[in-house]
Each structure stands twice: as C-alpha cells, then as structure tokens.
Amino acid sequence: MTMQRRDFIKALAATAAGWQFPAFAQSLAVPSHAALTPAQSDALAAYDTALNWFKSILRERRSQISSHQSLPNLPGQALYLARVNVMSTYKDLTDALPSRIGRANKFGTPPAYLDADIEPLIDEYRRLFDVMEAPPANAQKSDTPFRDVVELGIAIARAKGLDAANAEVAGRISLGMFFAETDGKQNVGNARSNKYKGSFQTGRSEDLNGQRKWAAIRPSIKSSALIARDDKEEARAGKLDHRYNHWTAVRDGLANAHADLFAQIPTIMRTLPDPIDQMKLFELVQIVPAPTKSALRSGHLTDYRISEPRIMGYLRNNSIFAYGRADRARQSATYREILDAMWLFNRKFERAQAEFDRIMGR
C-alpha cells in the first residue's frame, strides 16, 4: 500500500443498544479541579471530551451493525480519529499532570499514552474493525497463511540473489509486514479506505504491477513446489480480484514494493541490527515508499530527514507522531526518530517474530 493506511488492537460484554461504560475518568485518584492549574484543567477537560466522543462513536457503530443499518462511507475513519484523539489528549494530560500516568496496559502501549482503565473500549474498537473489515464471501483463504508469506518472501529473495541466511531475513520481514498491515488476518477489507484491500492492503494498480513483476521473477524461482502452488492458486483465483486470494495478494504485494529492495537486506542489517527496526523500515516502504527509498539510497539512512508536510501527514495517518502536542507539532523527523516513533507497531512485529521462529522450528 502506498501513502495511506489503517490500523490496531478483548472484550467486555455489552448489549448493542445501551452500554453502560464505567466512569473511567473517576476511577483514578486525581487532584480536585480546584487544585489544578488552568493548563491542567484544560488538558483534563479535553481528555474527558475526547473520551466521551470515543464512547459515543463506539456505541453508534455497534448499534448500526447490530441492527443491520447501512454504515457510512469509510465507517472506520471516525472511529480511528476518535481513538487517536483519546490517546493524544491523554498524552497531553499526562504531560501536564504526570500523576495521571497509571498502571501498564495489556496492549503494551506506553502508559503515558493510554489509561489502562479504557482497555475494554480499545477491545470493542478492535472488534468493530473485525466486523467492518471482514473478508468478502468469495475471498479465497489459505490454511497456512503465515507460512505462505514466509515462503514467498524467501523464494523472491533467493530469486533476487540473496543467500539462504539473508533470504530467511526477507521471509521474517515479509511476515512482519503482513502483521503490520492486517494484524495477521488474511483477505481483509479496509474500513478506512475504499482503495486498499486484501492480505497486503494494496490498491488495484499496485496489485497489477505486482503481477507483472512476479511474471519477471517467476522464471528465477528454484522451488518446484512453490511454482506448483503458484499454478494452483492462479487457477483457483481465475478472474477474482487477486487481492482476495491470500497467496496471490501476498505474492503481488511483495513483488510490487519489496522484491527489488530485498537485495539491500545485508546492508540494511548492518545499519539496523535490531530485527524490529528492519521490519519497521520495510513497513515504511508500504506507508511512504518514495522518501524511504530515497533514504536508503542516501547512504545515511538513520540521519535522513523528512520535512515535507504531506509526508509527515501520511506518517500521522498511520499512528506515527500522532499523539500529544509535542509530536503533533513536529515539522520534520529523521528516520531514526521515525523508527523510534513506531512503538505502536512493536507488538505486531514481536508476534511476527514469534510466529516466524515457530515456522522455522526455532
């Protein structure tokens, strides 16, 4: 996927028509309003407003879904913006009033950004997205979705000249992107975009370009078993949008945006020895491909600076520099700063790493 994106993250039972959420804002011991400075009072009021709006949007979407009402265009966008606003205003609040930083939350989000008491709301947020982004009825799933991603990544990397060890890194990175794009779910839609769909969240033009690039790569694939699987999936997909066959969606997504960069993996590993950083970098190729490729070509990857407002906007639309006044005020960032700001992706990449190790028998 090029320049836009989707997002993130059990369940407190509630009926669709009339939830009664706990009064989260009252659950923490905080100074009385009389003891707060004007700036602290403003920050608290902004957070309370954002939290109430988030609850309202959650209720509205759940009611619409449960009563089988038509959903608005891009039904996930308002939810996403409300969730971002809750986290952003909470960060402003904890900056102004550090005593509001509470216990760790189950999502691994830094506690200065997320009050653990609203975990049930985030769970409901994720459940709503699961409904709104459910695969279409004609989608063609795989019984081995994670292994497919790894095997395709490795095969493409080998075809591009990497040795076995570095090709395995490409397989791990590929799996990381699958988790980053869809939380490890195959053939999903996108409740925040009418353009990007499927297991690698590509647009139609990107998928078609990936098909052309795969046709050029395919003769160099040395695994007869992988070629036989590819023939089977092509025949199965037929005239179906290839983005809704898991195998072809992943194959075309990797061929389109990442195959040519796999050859740089040995250099990238020297610059970014942390496996999570490596996965983050390739996810940035999904989010902001042109500047990321420029940064790679520069020879000074981590020091390469982004200052174009449009690109900073794309990053914020993907939960990077989106939370709190300080981050929202940023007008530029180096790639090292961008990678560090991608903390919301850490859990997904850790899950990908664990799944990769399982697949590889480690």
DSSP per-residue letters across 7-32: ---------SS------GGGTS----
Tokens of 161: 């000249």
Cβ atoms 68, 22 nearer than 8 A? no
pLDDT, position 145 = 98
How many C-beta neighbours within 10 Å does residue 178 have?
30
Low-confidence ranges of the chain (pLDDT < 70): 1-34
pLDDT, position 86 = 98
Instruction: In whole angstroms, give the CA distance from residue 347 to residue 351.
Output: 6
Tokens of 57: 């949007």
Per the listing, tokens 């940023």 go with 330
- Percentage helix, strand, coil, to 5, in the chain? 65, 0, 35
pLDDT, position 250 = 98
Q: Look up the pTM and report it.
A: 0.88
Instruction: In whole angstroms, give the CA distance from residue 341 to residue 327.
Output: 9
pLDDT, position 6 = 42
Instruction: Give me the percent of the chain exceeding a pLDDT of 90.
Output: 90
Tokens of 113: 């950004």
pLDDT, position 23 = 44
